[in-house]
């Protein structure tokens, strides 16, 4: 009996170690180059130049950036003003402050369809309405929903990657942040030219390569934005973005 228990323990440990080393191998595929952006999101001045679209409130306290909509009024997007290259590694931390309902999205490679800034003054003003970003006549982007527990689709949990404009679902497979978790989670987004990979706490939730044909050319440089549906109350900190080192 002891031999049987020991064998089971060895097999279990082997499985756990195998998963650990697979994860480490996946993470080590991507080598960080120069740090091109760093923001602790700890003080008001850290995000003074960021742009809010929609009725989102931003509060900086306890060395975190909290975002929510007063009275859960409407959806909103908070944009970093910097343009990032077509290949990068971005990391940040996030924590759910209200697990009743919510949905978090990261927009990236957001740019005008003719190469303009998404803040081009000739573009119509945006107010957080989803199709202004996903079915726009003016801009393109990718987006990943890495926390999904909206009142319109409670308990979904599965992460979606879509390519816009067009709202094309290109991958849905793994759950993102657990919907009832109040822990601090580490997010990592990698864009390696046409390949997009995302991790939650070193667990891969997205891995897709854009062929540049089916849904149009591969999107390259552009802006990053944090979107929340109106029921969401999350906080964020320690955004860092590196150039992706060439293999």
Tokens of 35: 């740090």
- The fold for domain 33-244 equals Jelly Rolls (2.60.120)
pLDDT tens digits along 49-70: 999 999 999 999 999 999 999 9
CB contact at 8 A, 146 and 104:
yes
Domain boundaries, the chain: 1-30, 33-244
Instruction: Tell me the residue length of the chain.
Output: 247
How far apart are the C-alpha atoms of 150 and 139, rounded to whole Å? 25
pLDDT tens digits along 82-114: 999 999 999 999 999 999 999 999 999 999 999
Write the CB contacts of 104 (distance below 8 Å, at least 6 apart in sequence): 94, 145, 146, 147, 177, 226, 227, 228, 232, 234
Average pLDDT on 142-155 reads 95
pLDDT tens digits along 6-52: 544 444 444 444 444 444 445 568 999 999 999 999 999 999 999 99
pTM greater than the 0.85 cutoff: yes
């Amino acid at each position: 009996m002891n031999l049987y228990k020991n064998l089971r323990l060895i097999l279990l440990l082997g499985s756990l170690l195998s998963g650990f080393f697979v994860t480490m191998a996946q993470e080590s595929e991507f080598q960080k180059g120069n740090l091109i952006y760093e923001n602790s999101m700890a003080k008001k001045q850290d995000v003074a130049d960021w742009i809010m679209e929609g009725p989102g409130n931003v509060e900086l306290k306890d060395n975190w950036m909290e975002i929510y909509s007063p009275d859960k009024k409407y959806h909103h997007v908070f944009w970093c003003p910097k343009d990032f290259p077509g290949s990068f590694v971005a990391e940040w931390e996030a924590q759910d402050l209200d697990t009743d309902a919510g949905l978090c999205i990261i927009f990236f490679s957001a740019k005008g369809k003719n190469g303009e800034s998404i803040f081009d003054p000739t573009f119509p003003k945006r107010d957080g309405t989803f199709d202004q970003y996903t079915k726009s006549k003016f801009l393109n982007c990718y987006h990943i929903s890495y926390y999904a527990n909206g009142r319109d689709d409670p308990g979904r949990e599965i992460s979606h990657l879509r390519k816009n404009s067009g709202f094309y679902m290109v991958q849905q497979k793994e759950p993102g942040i657990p919907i009832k978790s109040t822990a601090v989670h580490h997010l990592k987004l990698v864009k390696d030219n046409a390949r997009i990979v995302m991790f939650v706490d070193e667990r891969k939730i997205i891995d897709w390569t854009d062929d540049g044909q089916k849904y149009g050319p591969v999107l390259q440089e552009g802006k990053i934005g944090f979107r929340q549906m109106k029921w969401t109350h999350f906080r964020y900190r320690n955004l860092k973005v590196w150039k992706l080192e060439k293999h």
